[in-house]
Amino acid sequence: MSEVTVRKNFLFKSNVAKHLEEMAQQEGKSMTRVLEELIEQKYEEASKGEKLQALNDFFEITNDRIEPNTTIQNTKASMDTKYV
């Protein structure tokens, strides 16, 4: 797997920098690795939120358009009789 490295200068408040250093020591990881994992975790949470919102939007749009207990077989049968 090829890695892409983007280097930026980050400025942290001294207490945040100290917390990051302590977290890295506790987990036995580099500060960079701790930040990478935190960013990926936050990104996954945001991604899940977007997907859930899209799913909720879908159900709102289709609400009352699909009759309860409708099956694919019933829908196909209904479509077949419309075009005969």
What is the pTM (predicted TM-score) of this model?
0.56
Residues 6 or more apart from 21 whose CB is under 8 A from it?
31
The amino acid occupying position 58 is F
User: Over the chain, what is the mean pLDDT?
Assistant: 84
Q: What is the pLDDT of residues 11-40, one digit of tens each?
A: 889 999 999 999 999 999 999 999 999 999
**Residue with the two structure tokens 């996954």:** 44
What is the spatial distance between Cα 72 and Cα 84, in angstroms, rounded to a whole number? 19
